[in-house]
Amino acid sequence: MMASIKKYLIRILHAIDTVSDAVGKTVSFLIIPIMLVALALIIFRRLLPYTGITIWTAADEELPTSAILLSVYFTLGAGYALHTHAFINYDLIQARFSPVIKAWLTIATYILFFIAFGTVAWMVTQDLVAAIQDGIGVVAGPGSPTPLMRLEAYMQILTLLAWPAGLSLLLLEGASRFIEALVVILQGDTGNGR
């Protein structure tokens, strides 16, 4: 019975690892278009006034647009950062413990992680509901008064879509760490579970 549960959990871990690797490596390439957009905003603002062409960007729009794109990048990449152990850990304390004790500590810390995650997810859901009630999608339609308003609306929609996706990836990787600790506990003091 325990062996079949362990095999099932390991299959789930491999599936989560595959998703985390694929999404993380794909998202890592988003930095290139983000930097190109930032460069384009600067060039359009500096060079186009001399040509007589007007464009939607202004000096006060470069920072918000770049900040939104970078927040999307970091939000979508957080799950991959957790997957690759890029976050700070307390290995100095854990180094002296057995694998089973480490697994119990991991379970305890990930329970706190899920509580914090639930709080953030609830807040993001409230923001998403408020944005939908305010009719943010209406501003982004083809009949918008100005192109700048369309850009702002698209940036807000992008942010509102990135948060749930990024939080889902982070939750998936947190669940993977939690399951990994359960596998270590199920198999006893023999290794890391994979």
Q: Is 144 helix (H, G, I), strand (E, B) or coil?
A: coil
Residue 8 region, left (φ>0) first, then alpha (ψ -120 to 50), else beta? alpha
- Residue 43 corresponds to which tokens in the numbers above? 């060039």
- Average pLDDT (58-64) is 55
CA–CA separation, 25 and 32 (whole Å) = 13
Task: Give the confidence band of 86 by pLDDT, cuts at 50, 70, 90.
Answer: confident
In angstroms, the Cα distances linking 173 to 13, 30, 84 are: 9, 20, 10
- For a pLDDT cut of 90, what percent of the chain falls above it? 3
Quick: pLDDT tens for 87-142: 776 677 777 888 899 899 889 988 998 898 888 878 877 776 776 666 544 444 44
Q: Any idea where the domains of the chain sit in the sequence? A: 2-187
CA–CA separation, 45 and 93 (whole Å) = 52
* 58 has pLDDT over 60: no
CA–CA separation, 76 and 168 (whole Å) = 9
- For a pLDDT cut of 70, what percent of the chain falls above it? 71
What is the per-residue DSSP string for 147-194?
HHHHHHHHHHHHHHHHHHHHHHHHHHHHHHHHHHHHHHHHH-SSS---
For the question of whether the overall pTM of this predicted structure is more than 0.85, the answer is no
